[in-house]
Amino acid sequence: MTRSDGFVLAIRRACLPPQSTPRFTTRGYRLGDKKPHKKKTPKRSGSQFRYRNHVLSTLDPSRLSFEDHLDLSGRTVHRANFAAERASSNAALEESSRLVPGTKTRVRKPEAIITYVQYYGNARVHLPFPSSTQGFLYYHPGSPTSPLGGSLRFRITPDPSPKSFHLGSDLLFPSGSPWRILLPQIACRIMFAKLGPQLVRDRLVTDDLLSRCRDLFQNRGRIHPDTTVFGFDSTFLVEFNKVGISQTVVGSRLHKMQLEMFKTSTKSYPWIGSALARFEPSTLPQYAGRRVLHLRFVKIIEFALRTLDDDQQSEERFEHPEEGKLLTRCKRKYAPARPWAYDIDKSDSITPVALRDLWEKSRTA
């Protein structure tokens, strides 16, 4: 490189912008110290942490406050907490966390786990609460003849004010029946163990009523609201394209009941659809002095569609199911339709015994 070339190179270097010098910081550590590291905080998004510490004051619809308003939209699980339960002595909490005698297993603490649907059909699923599930948890009492038929429900309201309670409507299951947790479920399932004491504190139920639930249902595997009948005022789901109904009847004891009512003599189903229905003692003059029941459709869930024409129904025919009407049928093709009627004294099989228990309970109010 000539002298002139070196001079040009020096000029070019002088014209370049100055390079930034990296800054280094030093920290002193003693021998044996571990290098501290910053803890990563998990992102809290969506509904995962909503209402984590939400505390309810009551389940009595007449004593609700703004603080009792809940938004369960899109949630799969909600754990309910109660102010009175939190204010109780720590002795109860210590008692619930002790070891089971002779084992290393701790006693499971009482909970109040609120879910939308755990079982739907024959599959076990966990469906999230529908959108706009905003309102109040409250206790709906059973009738005087069926006090065990009370349940926890969710009232969807237009705003967070307790005054809007009467303007709202109850949350529904996918089947169309009211979403509810039955009192026997509250009394017998550990996942609802906090609810029972709160209902007693609210003076909505008694300890004796909870004990009666345990006596009847403690060894019962599955308790489903749509298949449990407490009295003639209980509604249950019926599907027109199935043989009939299969229910658990709650009387002086538990009964398993099956009734075939929608299948014709040719083993065909004239209608498809579903409805909420209930049993009703007959007041027709031809059944005077007899214990006869009818089936009334309280609410049509899925509109009934015809699958067979009248000339395809052989000798037996079912009339179109209508909301508020009785189930009607005729045994001869061109005979007038009559309400379906079931005489509960005609035999001593399982089903009549269950319905007789309901009949006698309804007359002891």
Of the candidates 191, 223, 255, which is a domain's last residue? 223
Q: Which domain holds residue 355?
A: 236-362
Percentage of the chain surpassing pLDDT 90?
39
Looking at the fold, whether 103 and 210 belong to one and the same domain comes out as: yes
Partners of 300 in the β-ladder: 275
pLDDT in tens, 37-49: 555 544 444 444 4
Q: Do 248 and 331 lie in a common domain?
A: yes
Same domain, yes or no: 207 and 246: no
Nearest 5°: CA angle at 57, between 65 and 50? 85
Q: Are 178 and 241 within one domain?
A: no
In this structure, is residue 248 part of a structural domain? yes
Angle at 203 between CA 201 and CA 206, to 5 degrees: 95
Beta-ladder partners of 99: 106
Q: Mark whether 116 and 219 lie in a shared domain.
A: yes
In a domain, 4, yes or no: no
Same domain for 70 and 198: yes
**Is 50 among the domain residues?**
no
State both tokens at 248. Answer: 């658990």
297-338, pLDDT tens digit by residue? 999 888 766 665 555 555 566 778 889 999 988 766 667 788
- Whether 229 is in a domain gets the answer no
Instruction: Answer yes or no: do 61 and 87 share one domain.
Output: yes
Residues 63 and 95 in one domain: yes
What is the pLDDT at residue 319? 79
Q: What's residue 71's pLDDT?
A: 96
pLDDT digits (tens, 9 = 90+) for 167-185: 999 999 888 889 999 999 9
Residues 213 and 94 reside in one and the same domain: yes
The verdict on residue 257 lying in a domain is yes
Look at residue 210 in the predicted model and tell me its pLDDT.
96
Judgement on whether residues 260 and 174 belong to the same structural domain of the protein? no
Q: Of 193, 223, 253, which closes a domain?
A: 223
Q: How far apart are CA 73 and CA 59, in angstroms?
A: 20
Q: What pLDDT is stored for residue 95 in this prediction?
A: 47
- Domain termination site, one of 163, 192, 223: 223
Neighbour-count burial of 201, counting CB atoms closer than 10 A to its CB (0-12 exposed, 13-18 middle, 19+ buried): middle
Tell me how far apart the alpha carbons of residues 182 and 195 are, in angstroms, rounded to a whole number: 11
Instruction: State the pLDDT at residue 56.
Output: 93
Q: 289 and 187: one domain?
A: no
- In the chain, how many domains are there? 2
* 3-class DSSP string for the chain: CCHHHHHHHHHHHHHCCCCCCCCCCCCCCCCCCCCCCCCCCCCCCCCCCCCCCCEECCCCHHHCCHHHCEECCCCCEEECEEHHHHHCCHHHHHHHCCECCCCCCECCCCCCEEECEEEECCEEEEECCCCCCEEEEEEECCECCEHHHCEEEEEECCCCCHHHHHHCEECECCCCCECCEEHHHHHHCHHHCCHHHHHHHCCCCCHHHHHHHHHHHCCCCCCCHHHEECCCCCCEEEECCCCEEEEEEECCCEEEEEEECCCCCCCCCCEEEEEEEEEEECCCHHHCCCCEEEEEEEEEEEEEEECCCHHHCCCCEECCCCCCCECEEECCCCCCCEECCEECCCCCCHHHHHHHHHHHHHCCC
Weakest-pLDDT range from 132-136, 259-263, 267-271, 357-361:
267-271
Q: Is the pLDDT of residue 146 over 80?
A: yes
- Asked if the structure places residue 111 within a domain, the reply is yes
Structural domain includes residue 136: yes
| For residue 90, pLDDT beyond 50 | no
Separation CA 151–CA 226 (nearest Å): 12
Same domain, 304 and 181: no
Residue with tokens 């139920």: 205
- 122 in a domain, yes or no? yes
